[in-house]
């Protein structure tokens, strides 16, 4: 009996299980509110999850940020503990039942992951099946690099390479051009086109309310909206919800 | 006579003379159009100026970009040559009568300046009095660092440090928050606040149509608009045009 259980557990564990959300919060919604039914299923085997607050939106403390996330998870009876509360971030990751990386500034998040020497370990842990949730900056790092972030470079990271949990890049909080705007700054689409002038990695513009579900090697677009796909030297296209992105690379 | 002329020339040369513009182009205007009367005076002693096209907006070629800038300067009878056309960017800089760095992607521009080993030389050349014009990315690099750019990190620069021609940072194309927006991505003000959570450098939000005029150590806000000043741990303030920013640091 124990053996069978272990084998089953093992086979569950080796399947990637990831939610990559454009945003934590929808307009007029509370923190993580729209995702809670999904998260209840996603983290159904977890009594507690590990929170990575490194991106620190608005520069709030790790404690304050963790408290905010803990409050949302309390409503689905999951405890949450900040990685900064552990003496060793490595063992915290290794022992985590589930992991959530919150949004904020991607440059700061990536710098902290490298500084604490856990970028590679986090990637391995999630690839080995520990369920993961990312929102915004925490989603950005799921791609091959953070080079399609919208964030300001407030700190200089040792590298732009990220977790590579999916074989393409993301642009969270994707924003369509405002056709009435008189502002001459680049649109999001122009910026991604600039990225493609020097990089061949596909970029998925994920609108607020959309997320990717990764189950093993299967990647599916979720939420009610379309997502915008940018391939090098091609006209961008719109993908319907439930699109299968498993072969995108 | 020759001696006197040389001394006068020398004393003119040691005064910084810089135009730092938020944007090259206003809505419904053509390239550099709104700045041409200012540039005619600014570059009055120049028959030709050196163009730095490294930021390459939209990934166009250095030649195409130089041609676009040359066209605008032709209307005020100034010739323009791209730095990429010279065998040695160093001697091109040293011999330049005037310098213009165009906009595009700041990460790309900064990477290229370091790669061609001319970041420091460009700073010295402009500090020694060669008249300089920057627009957008070319303005961003006039500050202490490029860390308040709006651009996407499409390439990894060796450093975020820039020319330091002025003792603060800039946010070109400054954009006021859209109070009707339902988008949850950070506003420009929020992003600059994030910068100030980790950096104490003042940041000037320069709206499109504004520019800074630097004459020696005097820095003046020009154009018809206000600019928004962000100081660490202080409420942002609006500065009127013609404000003296010489003591901002």
Q: What is the DSSP code string of A17-68?
A: EEEEES-S--TTS-TTGGGHHHHHHHTTT-SEEEEE-TT-GGG--HHHHHHH
Q: Beginning with the edge strand found earlier in the chain, give each strand of the sheet holding B17-21 in spatial order.
A: B79-82, B48-52, B99-101, B132-135, B17-21, B211-215, B218-222
Chain B CB contacts of A195 below 8 Å: 152, 154
Flag if B195 and A149 touch (Cβ within 8 Å): no
B203-242 pLDDT, tens digit each:
999 999 999 999 999 999 999 999 999 999 999 999 999 9
CB B157 within 8 A of CB B137: no
Check pLDDT > 60 for residue A179.
yes
Chain B CB contacts of A103 below 8 Å: none
B46-105 pLDDT, tens digit each:
999 999 999 998 889 999 999 999 999 999 999 999 999 999 999 999 999 999 999 999
Q: What is the pLDDT of residue A92?
A: 98
| B214 φ, ψ (degrees, to nearest 5) | -115, 120
Q: What does pLDDT average to over chain B?
A: 93
Flag if B149 and A151 touch (Cβ within 8 Å): no
Check pLDDT > 70 for residue B6.
no
Per-residue confidence band for B182, with pLDDT thresholds at 50, 70 and 90 = confident
Alpha carbons B91 and B77: distance in angstroms, whole number = 24
Beta strand segments in chain B, E: 17-21, 48-52, 79-82, 99-101, 132-135, 169-171, 203-205, 211-215, 218-222, 227-230, 237-239
| Residue B17 designated active-site | no
From the candidates A22, A24, A139, A173, give the one annotated as an active-site residue: A173
Alpha carbons B137 and A164: distance in angstroms, whole number = 30
| Residue A244 designated active-site | no
Per-residue confidence band for A4, with pLDDT thresholds at 50, 70 and 90 = very low
Alpha carbons A174 and B185: distance in angstroms, whole number = 9
Residue with tokens 């919060």: A25
Average pLDDT over residues B145-171: 97
Check pLDDT > 50 for residue A53.
yes
B127: closest CA among B225, B20, B17? B17
Residue with tokens 């907006």: B57
Q: What is the pLDDT of residue A185?
A: 81
Judged by a CB distance cut-off of 8 A, whether residue A184 touches chain B is yes
Judged by a CB distance cut-off of 8 A, whether residue B139 touches chain A is no
Q: What does pLDDT average to over chain A?
A: 93
Chain A CB contacts of B105 below 8 Å: 194
A28: closest CA among A224, A173, A208? A208
Judged by a CB distance cut-off of 8 A, whether residue A182 touches chain B is yes
Angle, CA A198 vertex, CA A196 and CA A203 arms, to 5°: 30
Judged by a CB distance cut-off of 8 A, whether residue A57 touches chain B is yes
Which residues 101-120 of chain B have a CB within 8 Å of chain A? Answer: 104-105, 107-108
Reading phi first (left if > 0) and then psi (alpha if -120 to 50, else beta), residue A28 is in left
Check pLDDT > 80 for residue A3.
no
Give the three-class secondary structure for A161.
strand
Reading phi first (left if > 0) and then psi (alpha if -120 to 50, else beta), residue A24 is in alpha
Task: Please give the C-alpha separations between residue A28 and each of A38, A136, A224, B183, in angstroms, as whole numbers.
Answer: 19, 17, 17, 10
Alpha carbons B41 and B179: distance in angstroms, whole number = 39
Q: What is the pLDDT of residue B98?
A: 98
Which residues 218-237 of chain B have a CB within 8 Å of chain A? Answer: none
Average pLDDT over residues A235-241: 98
């Amino acid at each position: 009996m124990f053996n069978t259980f272990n084998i089953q557990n093992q086979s569950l564990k080796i399947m990637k299980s990831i939610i990559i959300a454009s945003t934590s919060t929808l307009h007029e919604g509370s923190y993580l509110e729209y995702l809670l039914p999904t998260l209840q299923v996603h983290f159904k085997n977890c009594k507690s999850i590990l929170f990575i607050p490194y991106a620190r939106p608005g520069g709030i403390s790790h404690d304050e940020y963790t408290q905010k996330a803990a409050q949302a998870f309390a409503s689905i009876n999951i405890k949450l503990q900040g990685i900064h509360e552990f003496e060793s971030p490595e063992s915290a990751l290794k022992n985590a039942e589930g992991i959530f990386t919150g949004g904020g500034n991607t440059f700061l998040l990536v710098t902290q992951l490298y500084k604490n020497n856990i970028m590679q370990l986090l990637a391995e842990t999630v690839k080995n099946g520990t369920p993961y949730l990312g929102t915004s900056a925490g989603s950005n790092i799921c791609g091959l690099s953070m080079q399609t972030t919208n964030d300001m470079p407030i700190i200089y990271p040792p590298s732009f390479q990220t977790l590579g949990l999916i074989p393409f890049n993301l642009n969270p909080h994707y924003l369509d051009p405002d056709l009435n705007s008189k502002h001459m700054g680049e649109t999001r689409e122009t910026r991604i086109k600039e990225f493609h002038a020097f990089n061949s990695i596909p970029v998925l513009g994920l609108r607020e309310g959309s997320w990717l579900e990764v189950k093993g090697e299967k990647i599916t677009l979720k939420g009610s909206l379309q997502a915008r796909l940018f391939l090098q030297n091609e006209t961008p296209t719109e993908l319907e919800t439930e699109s299968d992105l498993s072969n995108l690379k």
